[in-house]
Amino acid sequence: MPGTKSRAATSNPKTGKNTPQVVNIRKQLTQTVVQLIMAQSQHKQISYFRLPVFKGKGLARHAYKKAGTLLLATLIAFTFPLSSHAQLNDRINKTILSVADSTDLTSDTASTALKTSGSPQIYIPKAIHYNKEEIHSDFVLAARRASFKKYLMEKTIKETFSGPLNQYTDYKFENACLSATQFLIKNQYTQRGFEKMFEQYFRLDPSARFALLTAVYGIYPVTFKDKIKEILPYERDPKLFAIAALYDYRIDTSITNRNRLMRQMEKQFAGSSQNVLLRQLSSYLLRHLADQITPTPSVIELFRYQQLWKQKTIYSFQRWDRNYSGLCIVQYEDGHFARDQNGKLKIFRQLARSGSGLPSFITNGNTPQGLYRIAGSRVSIDKLIGPTPTLQSIIPFQSDSVFFRGLPYDSTGTKLDNYKILLPPSWQSYPPMQQSFWAGAAGRRYIVIHGSTLDGSFFEGWSFYPNAPTDGCLSTMESWDTATGALDKSDQLDLVNTYHKTPGGLGLLEVINLDNQKKNVSVEEINALVEKFEASK
């Protein structure tokens, strides 16, 4: 029979294994995995991989793909404590053999199970640890920083904003706005450049108008109030209208002005009640001032409630005024908090302020309060973030299959109901803790926990100095050796290693505004919260 002949040509009649085709597949998989792990060890980003071609049919082909995918994912996901290429190749070969031995790659009736009795098991490390000595960035070298700053200030800012604004230079002005926002650059050139853009506001495309409005909101809180009032009645883009309205409201928070802005919104957007972003704008105008002075529910309840889900959790404690930096701590699955070898609570300095300082429901606004899912760590290719591993947090609506994985989910309830059930009862009725949910619904994405290579001198004079603002992520403190490019001190690295001290990449992140005090969150405040929780056990 044709099928029998084909199978005999590629498989051992007795076992279906160790044929030339399977041996070749093992070799190709080994080469692929070696390349991937070597790239990971050099902090290179892997965007995709391709499995070697397998010409089998039916279940055999499916089993091969499943085995290969699991193998590669397992190897890439963890850091191996290996000292040489030879040891690495040996480990990979043993792992590939264990997969091949438990999956018949050539039989059309093969089982897709990857483990069978008596077969070797795939090696999975218990924890991940990143070494400080292996982290290096040329971007932080003194000469490189000086060169970057000179180009930024003279070319990106001065030359662009001093030149003409037209269809050929629009993109330069837009990029200059983004740079000014990131580095909080306020000088005669930024002011003149923004004035030019307001003069041609409705000729600009939406992305350029967005860059202008976010820059103005973050850098010039009052200067352009008249320009904002001029454009507000004619802006038809919901997000741009919202930013302009927020600028106006920040200057005048009276009930009269609030009601005027609400009427303007209803007049310009007939379906405003159906637009998530405009609903959040309405909620902000109605409740923000009261929310800032409303007492936060008991943080101790959050610590206790964590035990229902047995998820390791990062708590990031912030102020309502994000010009002040916060602190974060880690609670493990069994409920105890991460401590150093001397028993001292591990606390990490963190900033939740964006360059624009906009509310959390606006793209690139401040980090929203609320729940996130942590889905492991990775190394960014963004030079401003740097090579220190990041913690990848998932916001609701970004990837619900990841956000709710391993957590209770009632399919008869709404997504918001399932989000709220992850919080203690007293927090379920506390609207500010839903900010991350509604930010996700409004389109925000990619809010992660990362370090920074930014030159802190840009932010001297700010209360959060020497930390650096972001595009709305959580920025954890780092300092670098500008002579060698080595990592000097990193709360970010310590946080990532602390998080990964127990197995598994999935966990929770909770961002909480404690109150509206005009000062950085203190170590004493966090110690007091944890001590109160531990005393009540």
Predicted pLDDT at 435 = 98
Domains and CATH numbers, the chain: 2-125 (no CATH), 139-293 (no CATH), 301-535 (2.40.440.10)
Cα–Cα distance between 258 and 283 in angstroms, integer?
11
Predicted pLDDT at 114 = 34
Predicted pLDDT at 30 = 59
**pTM of the complete model:** 0.78
Predicted pLDDT at 16 = 42
Predicted pLDDT at 20 = 59
Q: Which residues contact 173 (CB under 8 A, 6 or more apart)?
A: 160, 161, 165, 193, 196, 197, 208, 211, 212
Nearest C-alpha neighbor of 504 from the set 371, 406, 370: 406
Q: pLDDT tens digits for 372-427?
A: 999 999 999 999 999 999 999 999 999 999 999 999 999 999 999 999 999 999 99
- Range among 37-41, 64-68, 153-157, 305-309 rated most confident: 153-157
Cα–Cα distance between 92 and 528 in angstroms, integer?
48
Q: pLDDT tens digits for 343-372?
A: 999 999 999 999 999 999 999 999 999 999
Cα–Cα distance between 454 and 329 in angstroms, integer?
24
Q: pLDDT tens digits for 130-177?
A: 999 999 999 999 999 999 999 999 999 999 999 999 999 999 999 999
The alpha carbon torsion through 508, 399, 414, 302 (nearest 10 deg) reads 10
3-state secondary structure of 408: coil
Total length of the chain: 537
What are residue 351's phi and psi, to 5 degrees? -115, 135
Cα–Cα distance between 75 and 72 in angstroms, integer?
5
Q: pLDDT tens digits for 487-535?
A: 999 999 999 999 999 988 899 999 999 999 999 999 999 999 999 999 9
Token readout for 337 is 């908090």
